[in-house]
Amino acid sequence: MDYFSRSQENIETFCLKLPKIELHAHINSSVSEKTFRELLRTRNIGNTQLTSLESSVFRPNEKIFASFDDCFDIFPLIHDVTNKTEAIYKVTSDVISEFESDQVKYIELRTTPREELLTGMTRRSYVDSVLSAIKDSKKKNLDIDVRLLLSIDRKSTVEIAWETVAVASELAAASDGIVVGIDFSGNPKINDAKDFIPVLAHAKSRGLKIAVHLAEIVNAQESHQLVELCPDRIGHGTYLHPEVGGLHKSVEFVKKHKIPIECCISSNLRSASVPNVEDHHFGYWYQQSHPVVLATDGKGIFQCSLSGEYILAAKTFQLNHDELLQLSKNSIDYIFADEETKKKLKFQWTEFSRSLSKSEQ
């Protein structure tokens, strides 16, 4: 009996040791409770306020947020604590180490360049801090390859979006390959995504990869406009298919162009974006052999891990060890880095498979 035929192999243990690829992780949503507490302790605030802030951000319940809107109220609380470059550096460093401990071999972090008048942090110094943390993590010889997408927050202005693309373009050529693209995110109920389409199209024309949050709520027309941009990956796509209010032509387009869907199951459950795990759209796309990648979105505020996402998918959609390994390996094809990087990662996965077979002998 080979490794994959052993049905009794513990799925949790397997998912924990499985090498993984993380492609949808917002830096500030990924901050761990430990890091958040350490940052809070550097502030001159009383214990009561500290505990209250901590419990507002890290909620103990299973369904952490009462409504989808609710989770967007948390970001300002985190941003208030990460309002200077030192804090951004620390959060980025800690998030990288934490993912590495979860056997994540390649990660594309994403974050919105932010200005804070109070501390003098500029959007540029913000990005420089994130880049320093990523570069320093390389020096620590961590077994994880880190890349970066700069996020455009749709709540912000189109002018800032243009600036973000300009900075990403400049850094794509001058960051040793770390900056690879643009993310479009933010509260889908705010502003019209249509206004940002020329900016995203320009980013694509400049050779930047684009990952676009879309169909997080039922908004078929807007979602279709974003789909027609032919993004390199789709964030969520929860309400894309006709059974949940999307358009048939959107699904056809996504299938025709094989646009990978970043599925963040725990995030969608905990932000009340999908009612229950069985109905999560991962099942819809996976069953049709469409490219899907499991991701955490915000491992801090949604209290999850990438291993946990694999375990949840395995238990909900009855995935065996072989299918889980394929799922994580296929994700390599959807990363935004170059072919050489993909080749290296595939080698790591082959070695992992070998180690499993050896353990059988």
Based on CB atoms, which residue is closest to Zn ion, 153 or 297? 297
- The site partner of 83 among ligand IMP, Zn ion, none (C-beta below 5 to 8 Å per kind) is none
298/356 with CB nearer Zn ion: 298
Contact status: 28 vs ligand IMP (CB under 6 A):
yes
Token pair 């959609």 in the structure block, residue: 317
For residue 169, the minimal CB distance to Zn ion (Å) is 22
Cβ-based neighbours of 278, under 8 Å, separated by 6 or more: 316
Amino acid at 32: S
Contact code string over 108-127 relative to ligand IMP, x by CB under 6 A: ---xx---------------
Instruction: Please report whether residue 94 would count as binding ligand IMP according to CB under 6 A.
Output: no
Residue of the chain from 53, 85, 116, 186 that contacts ligand IMP (CB under 6 A): 186
Would you count residue 296 as binding ligand IMP (CB under 6 A)?
no
Whole-number Å distance between alpha carbons of 198 and 184: 12
Active-site residue, from 22, 216, 262, 309: 216
Q: Residue 216 interacts with ligand IMP (CB under 6 A)?
A: yes
Separation in Å, CA 13 to CA 105, 266, 297, 315:
17, 19, 22, 13
From the centroid of its chain, how far is CA 154? 17
Beta bridge partners of 25: 109, 297
Return the number of the residue (163 or 297) whose C-beta is nearest Zn ion: 297
Smallest separation (angstroms) from ligand IMP to the CB of 202 = 20
Nearer to ligand IMP, 301 or 325 (CB): 301
The one-letter amino acid code at 351 reads E
How many amino acids of this chain bind ligand IMP (CB under 6 A)?
Answer: 15
> Does the active-site annotation cover 116?
no
Cβ 236 to Zn ion, closest distance in Å? 7
Q: Which residues bind ligand IMP (CB under 6 A)?
A: 26-29, 75, 111-112, 151, 153, 185-186, 213, 216, 297-298
Name the residues annotated as catalytic.
216
